[in-house]
Amino acid sequence: MSQKLMDLMNSKIMFGHLMHTRKKIHQFRFRHYFFALDLDELESIGKHKLFGWNKGWFFSFLDQDYLGQTTGSIKSKLNSRLSHLGIDIEKLTILLVTTPRFIKHTFNPVNFYYCYTSTKKLEKVIVEVNNTFGEAHLYVLDNLIEKNGYFIDTHAKLFHVSPMNNMEGEYTFYFTDILNTNHLDLGINLHYEETSFFTSRFIGEAKIFSDKSLLWLGIRYTLSTFLALPRILIHAGILHYIKKLPIFSKPDPSSDMTYTSTYKPYINEFKK
């Protein structure tokens, strides 16, 4: 792929740090990366030597890893899941912020589908959340308010993710524009009334999507993908067994936006 063509593409790789903070003093920060993939560019970027689309590779992006155990392209699956809401994303430019497979391994707690109009205006963001119980849920953020360089929306909590939190509260999501800038700052804050219980935030800068960037990423961030799930389980253990946070049982799903995840259930319930 020529350098000129790569410069014109929307897809990019974001290098930065991911931070988690909880109300009960506990936080951690580590190097992390995300890919921002234009779903209409997958065929082109799939021609890179170190990146494959729907095939095994050094880095590989498989449609089957997203939006539940159904077949079809990601765009068609997303459209199908949103159709009952009267939402049609077929003509929108969608940048999926995610971590693709690295040497066949993957686990994405959350994926962000940035939906842009033909004039490059951010219209909505679809957030796909996966828990460790084999379930996934879509939050549709289509009431975005732009303030101080961020797009902000709130949504009631409808999906059980962590056994350390009950179903009370709401999320505030905030994002910077990923299509028209090379900086990404995105965060999720879970709060109830005036109290913040949990915040997750990623801050990073973009590099051009190239084999050079992919090779550098594979060398420097080798363990990041493999440690995603172990980090979740280890820190859950610390919070419960050492810091004595209580355990909340997982309720049965009650939303039609919840479905069976592409990931197997790693834990069915935390042992009290």
Nearest Cα to Cα of residue 112 among 135, 132, 134, 95: 95
| Structure tokens belonging to residue 268 | 């069915």
Asked if the structure places residue 52 within a domain, the reply is yes
Asked if the structure places residue 117 within a domain, the reply is yes
Asked if the structure places residue 38 within a domain, the reply is yes
State the average pLDDT for the chain. 88
Residue 32 pLDDT exceeds 80:
yes
Percent of the chain with pLDDT over 70: 85
Asked if the structure places residue 265 within a domain, the reply is no
Residue 210 pLDDT exceeds 50:
yes
pLDDT of residue 165: 75
pLDDT of residue 270: 47
- pLDDT (tens digit per residue) in 123-182: 999 999 998 889 999 999 999 999 999 999 999 999 998 777 789 999 999 999 999 999
Range(s) of the domain holding residue 196: 3-208+221-260
Burial 119-143 (b: 16+ CB within 10 A, else e): eeebebbbbbbbbbbebbbbbbbee
| Structure tokens belonging to residue 270 | 């935390």
Instruction: State how many domains the chain has.
Output: 1
Contacts 24+ apart (CB under 8 A), 16-19: 16/184, 16/202, 16/203, 16/204, 16/205, 17/202, 17/203, 17/204, 18/200, 18/201, 18/202, 19/199, 19/200, 19/201, 19/202, 19/203
Cα gap 139→126, rounded to integer Å: 6
Residue 236 pLDDT exceeds 90:
no
Asked if the structure places residue 73 within a domain, the reply is yes
> CB of 80 within 8 A of CB of 59?
no
| Structure tokens belonging to residue 127 | 């957030």
Residue 7 pLDDT exceeds 70:
no
- Greater confidence (239 vs 147) lies with 147
Asked if the structure places residue 267 within a domain, the reply is no
Q: What is the DSSP string of 167-180?
A: S-SEEEEEE--SSS
pLDDT of residue 24: 62
C-alpha dist (Å) from residue 181 to 26, 44, 91, 93: 32, 21, 22, 15
Asked if the structure places residue 268 within a domain, the reply is no
Asked if the structure places residue 84 within a domain, the reply is yes
User: What is the arithmetic mean of pLDDT over 45-72?
Assistant: 92
